[in-house]
Each structure stands twice: as structure tokens, then as C-alpha cells.
Structure 1
Amino acid sequence: MKNHLLLFICLFVSATAITQEINSVMGVIVNSSNGEPLENVNIVNLNQVKGTSTNSEGNFQIVAKVNDTLHLSYLGFKSIKVRVTNDWLRFGSSKIELTELALALETVVVNQLKLTGYLEVDIKQVPIINNNYRYSISGLSSGYEAGKSSTITKIIGSIFNPADFLHRMFGKNPNEMRKLKKMKEDDEIRNLLASRFDREMLMALLQVDRIDLDEIVSQCNYTKGFIQTANDLQILDAISECYEEYKVLNRSRR
């Protein structure tokens, strides 16, 4: 009887140890319409703030634990969120299908300049391009975008006005904002963001919608032109720098 009990305990301990060693999940992502594997699908663990992408055969492996949520996105396909389960961790790879989106081109209106031949008149029709300066933004020269008011001024306003947008976003969502640091430290996520312009991954990680995300960058004194043309990595850097200054000024106030 004792031998059976001892054997049971050993098996239980071994099974527990094996379960604890499983710290990643594997899967294969395919096109739901034809079963073909999808290469370079972006996968991000929203809880661990870790990222990866699928290989040429649609396979991936990512750090994860039970109840973590994976965000899967691919150009031209509907993005989905997948919950990590015990069965997935125990039994290995899982097949995941992505559905294609119906794409439609929006109407583009081209406004042609009506030139008169007189320089003084025609020069007034040319749109004014502002030279903006930025600081610590990936792929751009050093310098925050310059404007009529400085970034510091706007952040100070957010600290002393409890109703201010930045105070609501930064002060009351610390968990989401802490993910900024993890995102900046993960090379895989940085590489993914550098090639994206849809803000989808940032919205999923920070738990905000597109309007609020653009508003955060705007309130941090970045121009409309920057917001419209920057890639997702540049937007991440912009928000991160603004948040770090917010924390410093907030501590000084306290």
C-alpha cells in the first residue's frame, strides 16, 4: 500500500513539474477559405507583452500561460483574439483560421492647382509644410515636434487639471501604460510595429480606441501631420516619452 502511495505521489509531482515547465504555446495559422498557411502573421501576447510572427509554413511559438490572450493580425484578414487554455499548453500545436476581409477602395479626390503664371499669386496656393522637430522617435532625427506650446506645458496642465485628457489616460490606466516599457524592450514587437500603420496592435495592448490613441499623441504636442504619417513604432515612442515626462512631473508635484 505504501509503495502504491509513493508511486502516486511521484507521478503527481512529475506531472506538476512538467506542467510548470510549459511556458509557451505553438500553433499554425491558415486561411479559412482554402487552408493555406499564412506567413508573417503578427502574434502578440497581450498579457506578457511578447510578440512573434509565423514562418513560411504558418507555424509559430510564443511565451504564454493559461488565460493569456493572444492577438493575431494579418493584412487583409480579420484580426482575432485567442485565449490560451490548459489543453492547448498540454497537447501542443493548435490550428487557427483567419478570415479574409472584403476590401473596398475609398473615393480619392484630387484637387488640381489652378496656376495663373504669376509667382506672387501661385505661391499662395501651395500648401505650407511645417518643419517639425522631435525627440527620441525611431527612424526620425532627434527632437520633439515643435509647436506653439511645449510638451512640458501640456503635461503640466494635465497634472494640475484632474479633468484633463492626459491625466485620465496616464493617471488612471497605469497597468496599460506600464506595458509601454515592455513593448519598447521587446525587439520582436518593435520590428512588428515598425512595419505597421494601422494602430491595431497598440490599441489592443493599451486598451484604447483609435480616437483616444490619436488624442493622446495630439495632447503630447505632436502635429496632425505626424499622427497621420508615423508608423506604429514612432507612435509608441512618442507616447512613451510623453508618459515618462508625465511621471517625473507628477512625482515632483507630490
Structure 2
Amino acid sequence: MKYYFTFFSFLFISICGFSQEVDEKEQVEKLEKIKAVVINAQDASVLESVHIINLNRVVGTITNEKGEFSISAAVNDTLYFSYLGFKPQKVRVTNDMFKFKDTKIALTELAYALEEVIITPYQLTGYLEIDVKNLPINDSYQYSISGLNTGYEAGKKNPSAVTKVLGAILNPADLLRNLFGKKPNQMKKLRQIKEDDAIKDLLASKFDREILTELLQIEKVDIEDILNNCNYSRSFILTANDLQILDAISGCYEDYKVLNRKK
């Protein structure tokens, strides 16, 4: 009887300990609304239409005319602030941000230096038929984002182009396999990013890849290598906005998953 009592006592203590660990974990992961104000660090004026992204939860929002915003987050999440003409900033969420409603986030202005741009004109003869024939031909295919009424040049994206992705899968040392295979959790964020309107609106106005690198936790050079391996043209890689780049990476990743299942 004594042994049974000891056994059940040990079991009860273990269950209680496990339950406490689960409760503590749930408490840490509990999402709450953060309310704060974004200001200009130079003159303390409020900033309207600042984009805020929770990099951990892949949700976004923007500030109102009073510089106020509200976003779901948990302790230790990272908030990414982006505003035209200001330095992007990352802020770690703390308990104090939930306790105090007067939190202010200050952004610092950037100083831009305009560089000289040299435009090289085509040598035109004045005869339309001759000049048209001499113009460089862009034989790349048009690429489009689902739900958007816009198209843009994206390389020779045809059925034969998928052979590059297949080659990436067959070669264990290839960058595509290394990135897509070793970062499955980051690649899963692709769909989440595309479902958030605030993040999509921000990416559509960006061309610097900064937000994509933060969200996907990959380097800019990796983004370029992914698109090169998926047969996107150089002009697309250099000129597309971040939303178009996101959709291109997503399409490439879907091809990778299909081919990897067939391997």
C-alpha cells in the first residue's frame, strides 16, 4: 500500500509540474494588443501612415493621423517600423509595452544624397521602320500576381524553365535546396505574408528587399540567387518591387515542393 501511495504521489507531482510548464508557456505566447505612438525623433511630431510589422506573427498595421497604432503581439516579439525618409527600426516587445499605454516609438530621419544619372539615348535615324528594327528586343515573358491587374517582365517563365528547379533538387549542394530545405518554417511564412493586406501594401511600395530579408530571415544575395535559379531575368530582379519579388519566390517554392515530392 505504501508503494502505491508513493507511486501516485510522484505521478500527481509530475502532472502538476507539467501543467505548470504548459501554463507558463501559454502565458508567454499569449497574444495581446499593443497600443503606442510613433513620433519623429527630431521634433517629436507624430508620424502618420507608418507601417508596422510583427515579424514573429506576420501581421501588419499602419499608424493613424495621430501616429497611433495597435497590433497583436507577445513578449519578445519583434516589431519592424518602416516609413519613407526614415531609418527602419526594430523594437523588441516588453511587458512594459502592455502595461503602459503611452509608449512612444521614435524614428530617425535619413539624409539622402542625389547621385548623377546618365541616360544614354538610342541612335535614331528618323525612319520609323529602321529605328524599330534596331531597338533591342525584350523576349521575356510577362508575369502576373493573382488578384492584381498588372503584369511585369519576369524572364522566360515557361514549362521548360522548371528544369532549373529540378536541377536544384538533384544537387544537394545547390542553393535552392539548401535554402528551401533548411528553412521550411521561413518559407511557410510566404503564404501568411500574402494574406496580410497591410504587409502587401507596404511591399508594393518597396524596392530595397529590406522587409523581405527580415520576414524570411535570408540575405539579399540569397533572394537574387533564388530568382536566378528559377530563371527570372536580371531586369526583373533589379526593377521589381518587393511584392512582385515575394510572389516570384513563392511560385519558385511551390515548384520546388511539387518536384521534391516526385523525387
The TM tier, using the shorter chain, reads 0.7 to 0.9
Farther off after superposition, 111-120 or 47-56: 111-120
Q: 2:179 aligns with which of 156, 166, 169?
A: 169
| Contact preservation (8 Å) 2:154, 2:236 | no
TM-score (norm 1): 0.83
| Contact preservation (8 Å) 2:28, 2:75 | no
Counterparts of 1:145 and 1:102 in 2: how far apart (Å)? Answer: 35
Q: 2:100 aligns with which of 70, 91, 101?
A: 91
Question: Is residue 2:97 matched to residue 1:110?
Answer: no
Q: Which residue of 2 aligns with 1:195?
A: 205
| Alpha-carbon distance change, 93 to 178 in structure 1, aligned in 2, over 3 angstroms | farther
Alignment of 1:153-168 (within 5 A): 153-168=163-178
Question: Is residue 2:260 matched to residue 1:250?
Answer: yes
| Contact preservation (8 Å) 1:28, 1:60 | yes
Q: Which residue of 2 aligns with 1:33?
A: 42
Counterparts of 1:147 and 1:50 in 2: how far apart (Å)? Answer: 30
How far 1:20 sits from its partner (Å)? 8.5
Alignment of 1:121-132 (within 5 A): 122=131, 125-132=134-141
Q: 1:78 aligns with which of 51, 73, 87?
A: 87
Question: Is residue 2:54 matched to residue 1:54?
Answer: no
Counterparts of 1:192 and 1:243 in 2: how far apart (Å)? Answer: 22
Alignment gaps of 5+ in structure 1:
1-15
Question: Is residue 2:235 matched to residue 1:225?
Answer: yes
| Contact preservation (8 Å) 2:140, 2:233 | no
Alignment gaps of 5+ in structure 2:
1-23
| Contact preservation (8 Å) 1:19, 1:90 | no
Instruction: Write the letter of the residue equivalent to 1:51.
Output: G
Q: Which residue of 1 aligns with 2:19?
A: none
How far 1:150 sits from its partner (Å)? 3.1
TM-score (norm 2): 0.80
How far 1:144 sits from its partner (Å)? 7.1
Q: CA RMSD of the aligned region, Å?
A: 2.8
Farther off after superposition, 139-148 or 241-250: 139-148
Alignment size in residue pairs: 238
| Contact preservation (8 Å) 1:43, 1:71 | yes
| Alpha-carbon distance change, 77 to 251 in structure 1, aligned in 2, over 3 angstroms | same
Instruction: Write the letter of the residue equivalent to 1:191.
Output: D
Farther off after superposition, 76-85 or 205-214: 205-214
| Alpha-carbon distance change, 20 to 232 in structure 1, aligned in 2, over 3 angstroms | closer
Instruction: Write the letter of the residue equivalent to 1:81.
Output: K
| Contact preservation (8 Å) 2:140, 2:153 | no
CA deviations 1:74-130 (Å, max 9, x no partner) are 111111100000111122241011111110112201113333456787556533223
Counterparts of 1:52 and 1:209 in 2: how far apart (Å)? Answer: 24
| Alpha-carbon distance change, 41 to 244 in structure 1, aligned in 2, over 3 angstroms | same
How far 1:143 sits from its partner (Å)? 10
Counting aligned pairs with the same residue, the percent is: 51
How far 1:214 sits from its partner (Å)? 2.1
Q: Which residue of 1 aligns with 2:110?
A: 101
Instruction: Write the letter of the residue equivalent to 1:227.
Output: I
Q: 1:183 aligns with which of 181, 193, 196?
A: 193
Q: In structure 1, the residue corresponding to 2:80 is in which secondary structure? A: strand
| Contact preservation (8 Å) 2:48, 2:67 | yes
Counterparts of 1:93 and 1:65 in 2: how far apart (Å)? Answer: 18
CA deviations 1:114-153 (Å, max 9, x no partner) are 3345678755653322341335454435997425883321
Instruction: Write the letter of the residue equivalent to 1:146.
Output: K
Q: In structure 1, the residue corresponding to 2:116 is in which secondary structure? A: coil
Q: In structure 2, the residue corresponding to 1:241 is in which secondary structure? A: helix
How far 1:235 sits from its partner (Å)? 1.2
